[in-house]
Structure 1
Amino acid sequence: MAARVTDVHQFTKSLPVILADIERLVRQESPSADAAAVAACADLVARLGTTVLGVAPDRIGPHLRWRLGTGPARVLVLGHHDTVWPVGSLASHPFSTLGGILRGPGCLDMKTGVVMALHAVAALADPAGVTVLITGDEEVGSPSSRALIEAEAAGCAAALVLEAAADGALKIARKGVSLYEVRAIGRAAHAGLEPHLGVNAVLELAHQIPVVAQFADEQAGTTVTPTLLKAGTTTNTVAARGSFHVDVRVTDEAEQARVDKRMHALTPFLADANLEILGGPNRPPLPVSASMDLFARAQRLGKGLGLDPVTGVAVGGASDGNFTAGVGVPTLDGLGAAGGGAHADHEHVLIDEIPGRTALLAVLIEELLEESGETHRG
């Protein structure tokens, strides 16, 4: 391979361009459920990537893929351009770069990471073997991109995920996620005249919620959290239908299977009531074992770049990195922007951290390409 990325200076020098690209991307709002907005953002990411990388991507719905070079894929660089912020959020959360802080809806999660990925790969002397995949449905569980992510990761030496850092730390482990909806079906009746003729879905749900919550296991790190609750039609009608959603986070697949079995074994409490249990495992866990070698490499390379010590943390949130780890590919997450407030009013990015973190990504890709290339030639 030709000249290596050796320092942070080149990304400090190009920071104005990087910031301009981030601004363009943040100003293109892209809530996951708004197909038109996501499609428009995909168009913009395609144009940005074509300019930065010098080649147009493959377009797969709202997902964009750059396969660089003609040989086998060896490193997958993974991100997403959809956000949780509805169209119009710019009015209350405008883009800004004041006092070293970059703000705007989706800036941390994860439009800055998308731009960092493009510029890091563009800095490589020879990016052959790199696949850059930017998806458009991560925030809603990646229903249309999971198979694509797993297929692109297969056979790679590593998957590098550009989700934001956690207080500056790389994400070396993530919990697996399961998602459920528990539906209660009863029978409607007039609440004043004939309540005894009804079967109250609200009461059925009231019995089920504490049962489900007890599936949690604090010692195992398993959380089972009832979340969204809906029931009834009018204030004077016995509720014939109702439902609640359940968010499950686990550290290992055995716990994921245990909770899944218990969820689908739920039975009604009330006579003549019925239950429907929808959902199941959404993402497998990303264990420390999947990231430990890459994390050690990042620590060493970060030291060589003169960065502050690179740290790592296990988190409860999931990402598309769970999928790459789930198919056996070494995966390191949290390589994107440093900042805070993802999904919140104070979402922000620390501008001074962008050059160093982009350089770290570049040298990490570079070293992985060199080593995997030598193995392939051997």
Structure 2
Amino acid sequence: MSSVDQPRPVVCAGTPAHTGTLVRQRLAAQSDVLNADLERLVTTETPSTDPGSLGRGADVLARWVRQRWPGVEVEQVVGDATVAGSPEAATVVRAEIPGSLPGTVVLLGHHDTVFDTGTIEQRPFSIAEQTWEGRTRRVAHGPGVFDMKAGIVLGVHAIAALDAQGIPRPTVRLLINADEEVGSLGSRGVLVKQSEHALGALVLEPGGCTGTLKYARKGVGLWDVNATGIASHAGLDPERGASAIHALADLACHAVSLADPAVGTTVNVGTFSGGGRANVVAPAARLELDVRARTVREAERVEGGLLSWSPADPRVRVTFDGGWNRPPWQATDATHALIRVAEQAVAGWGLSLDLREVGGASDGNVLADAGITVLDGMGASGDGAHAAHEYAVLDDMPERAGLLAAVVAHWPCAG
């Protein structure tokens, strides 16, 4: 083998703590810039159900990324709008900034929110001081500020700070989709394809409190169940009827019985509707189920239990639409190697990681199911996702960015 063919040794500069500290200090001095960028993204409303707003939001996001990563090509990759339930604007904003270390790290996020157009007028972007546990910190309020536009801001600035200080890192690929809050049905194919040969993905979803990372998420199963029965007079000839409501009431009890909280499996009947009048045997009924499971085995058990059920009255026809929107994700050895890098970074700051397994799913579940290494919860600290009191802690942004930067820069050296 010639010297040209010899693999180059991987050299990660410094330690995770040193790298994280440099980025943290740099961005602490640029807090006004981070805050202005966050305001720009938050005031650009991007509800999942408004294609026009999503398109405008993607344009704003792409222009902003070009400003923060000068010279980098930014494109909008169109998702699969033919998937049932996919919004028209299921595009993915993609940008790639080459690095000097081998491999590619994906920064994964979404810019759609659960808030309707016009919410920003009711709850405009604002910055205030908030005190808890004897400590006063600046926080930002506004729709989508915590979930997850602050994560996008700190992720992009973290990589820019690495480069400004000449710290070696792998290539970074930014993927921001527009339909995460409604299941990522149109964009998931793009996300998986763009992440296939990467070292893995860091998900910019909120991190909860300072030091929080998410190493596992439950899978989410969603079913829309419809029953069609036979109407009849409830007093004169009830036997001629076949109640759709009675059938689905039995199903609801059966579904709940499949839950096993001891192993983290939950079943929730979220909606139940049907019938029209009290004196009419109900000819139609509908319910919606939400199932959460930690493992694939549990997911398969519950799904099998649901789909093998049949109504006691064979005249009632029942259809199940849906399935596992996002599969369970459990940490792998590669995930734990990244966690060790993160632990080294925060140890230099006198902190310890708050590692959590959570019931809510993210696009990290989708990538993990495709065999891609994932570490989640790399975004902002704060609280109130999907709620009116939502906020992101601005004073923690440099620290969270430093943590993310340390993991990116030292990923190729993680053992």
Give the TM-score normalised by the residue count of structure 2: 0.83
2:58 corresponds in structure 1 to 42
Change (3 A) 1:65 1:236: farther
User: Could you tell me how far apart the structure 2 residues matched to 1:15 and 1:70 are?
Assistant: 25
Greater mean deviation of Cα atoms: 151-160 or 21-30: 151-160
Greater mean deviation of Cα atoms: 283-292 or 353-362: 283-292
Residue 303, structure 1, aligned to residue 344, structure 2: no
2:132 corresponds in structure 1 to none
2:245 corresponds in structure 1 to 202
1:318 corresponds in structure 2 to 361
SS at match of 2:322: strand
- Where do 5+ consecutive residues of structure 2 fail to align? 1-11, 79-90, 130-137
SS at match of 1:219: helix
Q: CA deviation at 1:317?
A: 0.7
Greater mean deviation of Cα atoms: 231-240 or 133-142: 231-240
Q: CA deviation at 1:52?
A: 0.7
Q: CA deviation at 1:314?
A: 0.9
* Residues 299 and 311, structure 1, Cα contact 8 Å, conserved in 2: no
Q: CA deviation at 1:189?
A: 4.2
Change (3 A) 1:74 1:193: same
1:116-195 correspondence to structure 2 within 5 Å: 116-125=154-163, 129-168=171-210, 169-189=212-232
Change (3 A) 1:299 1:272: same
Match of 1:24 among 20, 26, 40: 40
1:1-378 correspondence to structure 2 within 5 Å: 6-54=22-70, 55-61=72-78, 62-69=91-98, 74-99=104-129, 100-125=138-163, 129-168=171-210, 169-189=212-232, 197-233=240-276, 238-289=281-332, 291-304=335-348, 306=349, 308-368=351-411, 370-371=412-413
SS at match of 2:262: coil
User: Could you tell me how far apart the structure 2 residues matched to 1:310 and 1:285 are?
Assistant: 22
Q: CA deviation at 1:237?
A: 5.0
* Residues 80 and 138, structure 1, Cα contact 8 Å, conserved in 2: yes
User: Could you tell me how far apart the structure 1 residues matched to 2:341 and 2:68 are?
Assistant: 27
Change (3 A) 1:91 1:273: same
User: Could you tell me how far apart the structure 1 residues matched to 2:350 and 2:195 are?
Assistant: 29
* Residues 110 and 180, structure 2, Cα contact 8 Å, conserved in 1: yes
Q: CA RMSD in A?
A: 2.3
Greater mean deviation of Cα atoms: 264-273 or 120-129: 120-129
* Residues 23 and 158, structure 2, Cα contact 8 Å, conserved in 1: no
- Cα deviation code 1:293-329 (max 9, x no counterpart): 211210101223x252222111111111112222222
SS at match of 2:261: coil
- Where do 5+ consecutive residues of structure 1 fail to align? none
* Residues 161 and 321, structure 1, Cα contact 8 Å, conserved in 2: yes
Q: CA deviation at 1:192?
A: 7.2
Supply the AA of the counterpart residue of 2:28: T
User: Could you tell me how far apart the structure 2 residues matched to 1:96 and 1:180 are?
Assistant: 39
Identity score, percent? 37
Supply the AA of the counterpart residue of 1:117: G
Q: CA deviation at 1:104?
A: 0.6
SS at match of 2:263: coil
- Cα deviation code 1:206-253 (max 9, x no counterpart): 121111111111222111111122323567654322211111111110
Change (3 A) 1:7 1:124: closer
Supply the AA of the counterpart residue of 1:69: P
User: Could you tell me how far apart the structure 2 residues matched to 1:235 and 1:29 are?
Assistant: 44
User: Could you tell me how far apart the structure 2 residues matched to 1:37 and 1:122 are?
Assistant: 27
SS at match of 2:286: strand
